[in-house]
Structure 1
Amino acid sequence: MPGEIAFLWHLHQPPYEDPETGTFLLPWVRLHATRGYLDLADVHLRFPRVRSTVNFSPILLEQLEAYAEGRARDRFLEIAARPAADLSESERLFVLRRFFMVSWEQGIRPFPRYRALLEKRGRSPRSADFPRIARSFAEDELRDLQVLFQLAWMGFFARRESEVVRELVTKGEGFTEEEKAALLAEQARLVARVIPMWKEVAAQGSVELSVSPYAHPILPLLCDTEVARVALPQARLPERLLARDDAERQVELGLDAFERIFGWRPAGMWPSEGSVSDEALEVMWRAGIQWAASDEEVLLRTLPGADLREIYRPWKVRADGGEIQMVFRDRRLSDRIGFVYARASARDAVDDLLAEVMRIQSGLHHRALVPIILDGENPWEYYPGSGEAFLVELFSRLSRREGGIGTRTMTETLDWSGPIGHLDRIHPGSWIEGSFRIWIGHPEDVAAWNLVRQSKEAIEEAAQQGSAEDVLATARGHLLRAEASDWFWWYGEDFATETRTEFDLLFRHHVQAAFRALGHEPPAASLEPLIPEGVDFGEALVAREPAGFVRPRIDGHRPSYWEWLGAGLYVPGFGQAMYRADGPFARMYFGFDERHLFLRLDPRVEPTVGEVPFERIAIEVRARGRSLELEGRPGAKGEIELRMEDRVVGTGRFARILELAIPFSAIEVSEGDRIGVAVRLFRAGLEIQRLPVDEFLALEVPGPGYEEARWKV
């Protein structure tokens, strides 16, 4: 009795158009279009026997229309199109700051010229150094950078179908202004193909298209912000917001936008961030939604004491006067596609995935429905070849029903012949931790939600006073965009990005625009950045730089306060638009004494005695033009010998935490050398985690004056 996979690929970008200038502040709709959006459509067209569901956010669809119709004014595009000789000083700085925003491993490294330009600029230059660096870049270097940034974002469909793209990828450097103009014209043509291509996919009949609420808000928090207390009873929340009518408007407008573009009303909805509550499900059910989906953690919190096997069937959840069907994502398999398989061979990755589905089936007495739900655009930036080898391997083997494994769309789960669970209520939570912490758990989140509430109250007051409908509609349009989940994603310390200031600005500008549409002055709090002053995440690959020497005992036990005081800190998620819920370690500390590099990895979940969450560890070190790998395996008591070839070059221990020590002499580096370090963890032959997620910690070997140089009073 083979299992069946229900894929859901979610495609979304927030509203990037600045209401003050009409300019798209960020280019991600355009750049993801030439990779993930076209590539995923192409794979579904090539393998029509594989059934899956693809979910669009309406705000993304509207932005794709704007690009296709030539209405999108894109700051990045305008600067890319400018002749390199005509770039102003500020535009040269913009190019050097922003045109390296792509995976360095998969986007930059394959182009020797791009890699050389990155090395010339520096991997993490200080803000103060940029004007000097910009003056050192010649016209031809800037032009090549303008072109290479666009090429690095071209996926396998574009490289296969476009002669212009193929020729320029092959050429690799020395581009002319005419070639650049031809590339940008080709890029516009490719972006315009996205929606027609997905219509073609839908017409083929093997793929179901579904939708999210209009601007991608967290529906449960719109219905009632106090619902966050169920999972976060001690959280400091904003003043209570009760905006169920906005939640209803977001759902209805999302359905309307989808129907206008595709010609039919979808049956199902991926609620933004998998966020659900009883009230949010009522809103969806009243709008005619037949199915929704969320995360396994939501189901497990709804059914205390239940085990993970409960997610492998559909569930009907009471919603007002009826029921809405739900499926709950297998987090581990979804995250393996999103984060793990990029570093495995396509064959090994698909072997693992299919074996896991068969293992799940073997533990059940009924046919397994395995929901694999993930971001459909961001993972491919980190796969070789934009993920083509993996996707082709996966889809070709599923087309053959290898192992008897089938696929079905989410609507097809409504006809599930196996057991179906029934719930009278649902735990209010999201696909991250089964809570809403990411979007309401930080001081900046609280300040932002208070601005949303003030905007809502101002609009309601204006409506009561008889303001014109067109005025109210304009104000509400800005409020809907201010309610988007994306602004709140980047507030707080969980995630950071080089473009954090743009996200903050877009949120505040929508709040301001809502008030100005009503003829009111915006709240003072909306006029100043909500992110803390002095935080420039664009300059740092880590959450905290080392502040002094550390001298830990390498015993794998929770340290005293003093052992790691002064260490640097790396937290997965910095600079990432995706969230990875698994991977055994939540953070990595790093530090030095005069002779050693020390690393400490803290588990996400406290291990039981004797439990070791990995079978092999590899530490990559890059220094002096060399690439070294230190490898080790934990012994019976968690002890680790790090070896390079046949030599022991470092030691470690895992008990409650993982601690490692590597002498600088063993890797042949000395004071002043810059080194790159990454830790990779393996289990069952697969890489299960890499820290940092992408690239390397950039470190400088300290000398005798290290601590004095960092002393602060």
Structure 2
Amino acid sequence: MQPVQLVLLWHMHQPDYRNYETGEFMLPWVYLHAIKDYSDMAAHLEAHPHMKAVVNFVPVLLDQLEDYATQFASGEIRDPLLRLLAIPSLDDVSEEDRLRAFDSCFRSNHLTMMQPYPAYKRLYDIHEMLREYGDGELTYLSGQYLADLLVWYHLAWTGESVRRSSEVVIQLMTQAKGFSYADRMQLLDVIGEVVQGLIPRYRKLVESGQIELSTTPHYHPLAPLLIDFSSARESVPGSALPIEPVYPGGRSRVASQLVSAIESHAARFGARPEGVWPAEGAVSAPLLEILGEKGCQWCASGEGVLANSLRHSYPGEPLPERSRFLYRPYRVDGKSGDVICFFRDEKLSDMIGFEYAKWFGRDAAEHLVRSLEEIGHSALPGEKPVVSVILDGENAWEYYPYNGYYFLNDLYEILENHPSIHSTTYRDYIASENEKEAARLPLLTAGSWVYGTFSTWIGDRDKNRAWDLLSAAKHSYDLVMQSGRLTPDERKKAERQLASCESSDWFWWLGDYNPPYAVSSFDQLFRDNLANLYVLLKLPVPISITEPISHGGGVHETSGAMRRAS
């Protein structure tokens, strides 16, 4: 067996849920994932100090975590759901707030985050029973019901590490019902402590050398499409494109968001990031040029992108067995400088994202390790396979019992003591001169980690209409910026709002294959962001922005916050 270098890259991201005009958070996912997933992922690494990993934090997520930390420090809560938790008398809340609680507090995987808690399940059953007679019957639910519902929702969203260390959480889960205002305030304090401690915890892991922190262009734009819509046709030749042939000034927008990410990372963690996980692992040759110009040492993408690139680089030649091309770094011919490209193992990454949640934790961990051992056994003498397992570090655990605690604990424990599988980071891998193993890639075919294409973000009617609305707004932005009508502070606010409009997340959720409630939320957020941009530009808001773009249609494997790679 040849030694295997394993890089686990956990990608942490949420789009900007803030309304810049009011400062309000429109959705609660940042702080909920903070108390569950970001805290648990740090705790697993802290418990296994010989385990190395790459953690990718998108700057706009860090911006929001810091915003929440400021809210807790000041006591001025700008998240409506958190604010409800802290209201002294829930008998007196508005109808809007009551409906917000009912709409929000059952949003989770019921199998793992409700069924294990009979008191929480009973609250759900009561709600569903009354709703059968019409939403008006929900007025019979008291302030005490709301208190118990809000507490249980937040308890269900606490991570396993928080539950095992917080006496308050243990006491409340044991109490089960009849939560007082004092109980709710104690829980709010726990949430605040976890959120405020997150960035310092990850900074400490960086300082110890245990993890490498990488970054993404600041607001998570689908960079190759901003640069050139037609890049979608490199992997899907017949892909339908927006009316506008090119996003106005797209290349400079990508460069600007990358520079902003590098600067914010350096300010938070004391050094510039050495690598980039582009939003959605989406790469193209022009993007690699920008990364090279800005001094990035490495980037990563999906296995499908590598396969497409090899087919286009060597037309007419059959693609070799994946073990012969996947487990090595690449340098792309052209102007990309010294950027080294790594490509994720789709099968292993998807096993963690979609399959192992159904297994016993120890069995899943051992299966993953055996799969890595097989890669080492199939390597030729003298080969040094580097295996990239890259996936969402926040959404998968909702589907695991105990938030993936036993799977991750057992996996890290086995890997810490394995004689032939060595966890590492891309920075350490490159520093050890393993980059000399990099193969030459004549052509890079533009694509993402999902299917190796951009079809999740462009190509259908709704997604293309969203791009058209964004392009029109960008034209207006350019004209106003060139006119000199805005003050420096107004220009800064408009630029930040435009960057938020450029996030890939809005395009991800549009489409009739996504659940209607999610499509409605993200469609509205995208259009609100565009409307705010026009207001900041001191222009009338076009009527087209008031009309929904997409309605959604259902829930199946191609919908939701996660996708299989193929």
Instruction: Determine if the TM-score, normalized by the shorter chain, exceeds 0.5.
Output: yes
Q: Which has the larger radius of gyration?
A: 1
- Alignment of 1:142 onto 2:146: yes
Out of 569, 572, 582, the residue aligned to residue 557 of structure 2 is 572
2:36 pairs with 1:35: yes
- Counterpart mapping for 1:650-669 below 5 A: none
Secondary structure at the counterpart of residue 388 of structure 2? strand
Partner of 1:193: 197
Contact 1:9 1:53 in 2 (8 A): yes
User: What one-letter code is carried by the residue in structure 1 that aligns with 2:556?
Assistant: V
- Indicate conservation of the 8 Å contact 1:314/1:413, yes or no: no
Q: What residue in structure 2 maps to residue 302 of structure 1?
A: 309
Counterpart CA distance in 1 for 2:261 and 2:436 is 32
Alignment partner, residue 274 of structure 1:
281
Confirm or deny: 8 A CA contact 2:9 2:53 kept in the other structure: yes
* Partner SS state of residue 122, structure 1: helix
Q: What pairs up with 1:358-507 in 2 under 5 angstroms? A: 358-365=373-380, 366-401=383-418, 404-414=420-430, 415-416=433-434, 419-468=437-486, 469-496=488-515, 498-507=517-526
Q: Relative contact order: is structure 1 or structure 2 higher (C-alpha 8 Å, sep ≥ 6)?
A: 2
- Secondary structure in structure 1 of the residue aligned to 2:500: helix
Deviations 1:338-359 (A, max 9, x none): 1111111121101110111111
Q: Secondary structure at the match of 1:23?
A: coil
**How far apart are 1:578 and its partner, in Å?**
1.0
TM-score for the superposition, normalised by structure 1: 0.74
Cα distance between partner residues in 1 of 2:517 and 2:90? 23
Aligned to 2:315: none
Q: Which amino acid aligns with 1:346?
A: G
Structure 2 Cα separation of the partners of residues 298 and 471 of structure 1: 40
Distance 1:104 1:195 in 2: 30
Say if 1:472 and 1:80 are closer, same or farther in 2 by CA, change over 3 A: same
Inter-partner Cα distance in structure 2 for 1:321 and 1:385: 43
CA deviation vs aligned residue, 1:580-611 (integer Å, no higher than 9, x gap):
235xxxxxxxxxxxxxxxxxxxxxxxxxxxxx
Contact 2:14 2:60 in 1 (8 A): yes
- For residues 149 and 91 of structure 1, what CA distance do their matches in structure 2 show? 15
1:32-431 equivalences under 5 Å are 32-70=33-71, 73-82=78-87, 83-122=89-128, 129-132=134-137, 134-238=138-242, 239-242=244-247, 243-304=250-311, 305-307=318-320, 308-309=322-323, 310-318=325-333, 320=335, 322-365=337-380, 366-401=383-418, 404-414=420-430, 415-416=433-434, 419-431=437-449
Report if the CA contact (8 A) 1:25-1:502 is conserved.
no
Give the Å deviation of 1:417. 6.5
* Native 8 Å contact 1:489 1:495 kept in 2: no
Give the partner amino acid of 1:444: D
Tell me by how many angstroms 1:523 deviates.
2.3
Residue aligning to 1:598: none
Following TM superposition, by how much is the alpha carbon of 1:573 offset from its aligned partner in structure 2, in angstroms?
Answer: 4.0
Q: Is the 8 A contact 1:297 1:433 kept in 2?
A: yes
**Are residues 343 and 228 of structure 1, via their aligned partners in 2, closer, same or farther at CA, if it must alter by over 3 Å?**
same
Q: Distance in 1 between matches of 2:182 and 2:515?
A: 37
* CA RMSD, Structure 1 to Structure 2 (Å): 1.9
Query: For the Cα contact (< 8 Å) 2:291–2:336, is it kept in 1?
Result: no
CA contact (8 A) 1:285 1:319 kept: no
Identity value in percent: 35
- The answer to which structure has the higher strand fraction is 1
- Measure the CA separation in 1 of the matches of 2:533 and 2:281: 28
Supply the distance in 2 between the matched residues of 1:80 and 1:235 (Cα, whole angstroms). 47
The aligned residue for residue 10 of structure 2 is 9
- In the alignment, residue 49 of structure 2 is paired with which amino acid? P
May I ask how many residue pairs the two structures share in their alignment? 544
Q: Secondary structure at the match of 2:457?
A: helix
- Counterparts of 2:153 and 2:117, CA distance in 1: 11
Per-residue CA deviations over 1:656-710 (Å, capped at 9, x if unaligned) read xxxxxxxxxxxxxxxxxxxxxxxxxxxxxxxxxxxxxxxxxxxxxxxxxxxxxxx
Q: Helix, strand or coil for the counterpart of 1:6?
A: strand
Q: Report the Cα distance in structure 1 between the residues aligned to 2:96 and 2:478, rounded to whole angstroms.
A: 42
Give the distance between the partners of 1:203 and 1:32, measured in 2 at CA.
Answer: 24
Separation of aligned partners in 1, 2:128 and 2:209: 49
Distance change (3 Å), C-alpha of 1:318 and 1:371: same
Q: Deviations over 1:390-434 (max 9, x none)?
A: 1110111111025x2111101123231773211233110001111
More helix by share: 2
